[in-house]
């Protein structure tokens, strides 16, 4: 067993050897990433209720690290997320499979994660209106799935991210959208948090008049730990994003929900909102919601709001008075907490998401 | 015929006694109105009947057909046949009104085994009774509702639950004339229920003729009369009762 904080020298040389002896076209970059991982510390995240979330890292059986180096030749090395962005990404870059999916028809696509470390590059072609469901499931020890999603001019995407790993899985998930001119992304992420989850969703608005909607719901149960991040970066004029991240914490779970809105000097007429609410269903669970703003242009509209609360006693009494028992009332309030976000989606995406949520929440 | 009996009920909140010995008997189908000055304990009575956890019952009894209501939890009281129309109904965003009504219909009327189509027809008819379009039922429960709409929502729920006894706390507050008529019509539809209407004004009693009117002062029902008492109270206020 080795820790991810730093690799055992034997493991490190073994991984290095595997990379060198592979047919990977990106050997050098992989080695560079592995070195970066080895030499740098995890970034300390401030104000997390989760003590030691980043620093006291978990162990990873060596046998699990078996990079197969699947690479699609048609696509150049991913560049939307640089390998030295953080320590997780560096490790991920060193050993992941690389896949590409081009959405070039107006239809529904599905992608299911196959291996433990995957890097998916998605491209929505110009003028295409597509839907994509990404499914992340199964029993895994440690896993990371990083998606780079490029929405070309005038394209439109409904992106449904479903994460349901086994509760013991430690995972790092990241998706970053790059929205070109007049493109539109409607994203809903559902996450059943496991023992150790970090989930990051970034929207990069690089094309004028691009628009995003980024709604998400996480459920942290049975001592789950989740760090949920939703960021919005506006680089050009007339872009719009709406982020709502709601979560439920139960049975001594811990969560932090972060959100950053960054608006560049060159991005007037930006409209960007972030809201996050976490509902604590027992008194052993803990949570923080931490929104932040970085605004370099005066001609914009940006709002952020965050709250952590317990089940509202008046709501509960009201439902009790309508014949709902305590547990049933709490379930209904929790369900409502999630559905009030999904119901903001546009049809038919809303119906697709709600049908799924009915079976999960 | 069901009977709700309240005997010498005493209750307090945060150490302050609010109900100081309330006695009231209501039979199924009867309409009772409770009037009285602010702070006399009317709303407290409604919340104690429904088992609000903030109130402590210090004495007395409440029975419904002989069943000890005070020993039951709030949801059990509801299932026994008590319904409270709140003075300030809470909002539950995320729960659509129609889904909620379907839920309580299945909960309270299991013998009906109402099919979805039959339920929708019944809902549509109840909405019409209250002067509402079907679309309102797609909204979240009480969210963004005006004061009047919230009162209508309570009556709509009562019509779905079909309780044995209904306590309506100020169902007329915040209503315009048309809304008042609609609410009164809805309350009149609950013919099988014993209805206790808490109100400050006589105007709703122009549309629903009560069998008895009670006056509550300082935590006790101190005077009982027929429907003419409301007009007298409207004209004279409560001072003369306090003095006598």
Question: CB distance B94–A318 less than 8 Å?
Answer: no
Q: Which residue has the tokens 């709303």?
A: B43
| Mean pLDDT of all residues in B64-76 | 98
Whether A59 shows a pLDDT value over 60: the answer reads no
Range of the domain at B116: 3-243
Tokens of A193: 């948090």
Q: What's the rounded Cα separation, in Å, for the pair A266 and A338?
A: 35
- The mean predicted confidence, pLDDT, of chain A is 87
Rounded alpha-carbon distances, angstroms, from residue B214 to B44, B83, B173, B229, B241: 15, 20, 19, 9, 12
Residue in A321, A335, A343 nearest the CB of B78: A321
Residues of chain A neighbouring B90 (CB-CB closer than 8 A): 312, 314-315, 318
Q: Distance, in angstroms, between B240 CA and closest chain A CA?
A: 37
Of all residues in chain A, what percent carry a pLDDT higher than 90? 60
Whether A342 shows a pLDDT value over 80: the answer reads yes
Give the confidence band of A98 by pLDDT, cuts at 50, 70, 90.
confident
Instruction: State the ipTM, two decimals.
Output: 0.96
Whether A156 shows a pLDDT value over 70: the answer reads yes
Residue A42, H or E segment: none
Cis, bond preceding A347 (omega within 30 deg of 0): no
In 3D space, the residue among A79, A189, A164, A88 whose CA is nearest the CA of residue A123 turns out to be: A79
Residue B185, domain CATH: 3.40.50.300
pLDDT per residue as tens digits for the range A271-289? 999 999 999 999 999 999 8
Give the confidence band of A56 by pLDDT, cuts at 50, 70, 90.
very low
Residue in A315, A324, A335 nearest the CB of B75: A324
Q: Hey, where are the domains in chain A?
A: 96-310
Give the confidence band of A57 by pLDDT, cuts at 50, 70, 90.
very low
- The mean predicted confidence, pLDDT, of chain B is 93
Q: What's the rounded Cα separation, in Å, for the pair A163 and A145?
A: 10
Q: Count how many domains chain B has.
A: 1
Residue in B77, B79, B90 nearest the CB of A314: B90
Rounded alpha-carbon distances, angstroms, from residue A143 to A122, A339, B129: 19, 28, 58
Confidence at residue A161, expressed as pLDDT on a 0 to 100 scale: 97
Give the confidence band of A177 by pLDDT, cuts at 50, 70, 90.
very high
Residues of chain A neighbouring B164 (CB-CB closer than 8 A): none
Question: CB distance B52–A319 less than 8 Å?
Answer: no
Tokens of B203: 């105007």
Question: CB distance A321–B50 less than 8 Å?
Answer: yes
Confidence at residue B234, expressed as pLDDT on a 0 to 100 scale: 87
Give the confidence band of B243 by pLDDT, cuts at 50, 70, 90.
low
Q: What is the DSSP string of A80-117?
A: SS-GGG-HHHHHHHHH-EEEEEEE-SSSEEEEE--SSE
Confidence at residue A60, expressed as pLDDT on a 0 to 100 scale: 45
Confidence at residue B169, expressed as pLDDT on a 0 to 100 scale: 97
Whether A67 shows a pLDDT value over 60: the answer reads no
Q: Distance, in angstroms, between B144 CA and closest chain A CA?
A: 13
Q: What is the DSSP string of B128-190?
A: HHTT--GGGGGSEETTT--HHHHHHHHHHHHHHH--SEEEEESTTTT--HHHHHHHHHHHHH-
Question: CB distance A313–B53 less than 8 Å?
Answer: yes
């Amino acid at each position: 067993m080795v820790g991810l904080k730093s690799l055992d020298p034997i493991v490190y040389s073994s991984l290095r050897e595997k990379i060198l002896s592979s047919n990977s076209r990106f050997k050098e970059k992989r080695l560079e990433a592995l070195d970066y991982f080895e030499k740098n510390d995890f970034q300390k995240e401030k104000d997390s209720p989760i003590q030691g979330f980043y620093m006291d890292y978990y162990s990873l059986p060596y046998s699990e690290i078996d990079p197969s180096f699947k690479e699609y030749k048609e696509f150049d090395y991913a560049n939307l997320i640089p390998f030295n962005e953080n320590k997780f990404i560096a490790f991920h870059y060193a050993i992941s499979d690389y896949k590409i999916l081009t959405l070039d028809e107006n239809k529904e696509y599905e992608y299911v994660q196959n291996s433990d470390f995957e890097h998916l590059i998605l491209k929505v072609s110009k003028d295409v209106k597509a839907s994509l469901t990404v499914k992340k499931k199964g029993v895994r020890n440690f896993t990371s799935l990083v998606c780079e999603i490029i929405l070309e001019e005038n394209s439109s995407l409904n992106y449904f991210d479903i994460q349901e790993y086994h509760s013991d899985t430690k995972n790092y998930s990241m998706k970053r959208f790059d929205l070109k001119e007049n493109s539109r992304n409607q994203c809903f992420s559902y996450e059943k948090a496991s023992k150790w989850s970090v989930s990051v969703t970034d929207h990069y608005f690089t094309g004028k008049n691009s628009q995003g909607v980024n709604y998400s719901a996480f459920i942290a149960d049975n001592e789950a730990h989740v760090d949920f991040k939703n960021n919005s970066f506006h680089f050009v004029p007339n872009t719009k994003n709406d982020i709502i991240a709601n979560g439920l914490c139960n049975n001594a779970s811990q969560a932090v929900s972060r959100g950053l809105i960054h608006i560049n000097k060159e991005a007037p007429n930006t409209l960007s909102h972030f809201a996050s609410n976490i509902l604590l269903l027992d008194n052993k669970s803990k949570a923080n919601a931490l929104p932040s703003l970085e605004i370099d242009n005066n001609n914009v509209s940006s709002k952020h709001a965050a709250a952590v609360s317990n089940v509202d006693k008046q709501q509960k009494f009201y439902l009790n008075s309508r014949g709902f028992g305590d547990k049933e009332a709490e379930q209904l309030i929790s369900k409502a907490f999630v559905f009030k976000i999904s119901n903001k989606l546009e049809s038919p995406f809303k119906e697709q998401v709600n049908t799924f949520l009915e079976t999960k929440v | 015929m069901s009977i709700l009996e309240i005997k010498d009920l005493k209750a307090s909140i945060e150490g302050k006694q609010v109900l100081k010995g309330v006695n009231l008997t209501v039979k199924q189908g009867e309409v009772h109105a409770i009037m009285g000055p602010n702070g006399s304990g009317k709303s407290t009575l409604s919340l104690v009947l429904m088992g609000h956890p903030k109130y402590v019952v210090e004495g007395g009894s409440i029975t419904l057909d002989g069943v000890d209501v005070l020993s039951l939890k709030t949801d059990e009281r509801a299932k026994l046949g008590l319904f409270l129309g709140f003075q300030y109904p809470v909002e539950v965003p995320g729960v659509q009104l129609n889904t909620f009504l379907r839920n309580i219909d299945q909960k309270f009327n299991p013998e009906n085994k109402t099919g979805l189509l039959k339920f929708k027809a019944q809902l549509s008819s109840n909405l019409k009774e209250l002067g509402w379009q079907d679309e309102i039922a797609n909204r979240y429960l009480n969210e963004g509702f005006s004061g009047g709409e919230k009162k209508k929502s309570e009556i709509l729920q009562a019509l779905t639950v079909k309780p044995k006894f209904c306590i309506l706390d100020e169902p007329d507050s915040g209503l315009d004339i048309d809304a008042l008529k609609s609410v009164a019509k809805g309350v009149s539809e609950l013919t099988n229920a014993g209805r206790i209407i808490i109100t400050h004004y006589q105007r709703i009693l122009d549309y629903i003729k009560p069998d008895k009117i009670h006056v509550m002062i300082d935590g006790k029902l101190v005077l009982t009369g027929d429907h003419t008492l409301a007009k007298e109270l409207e004209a004279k206020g409560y001072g003369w009762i306090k003095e006598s």
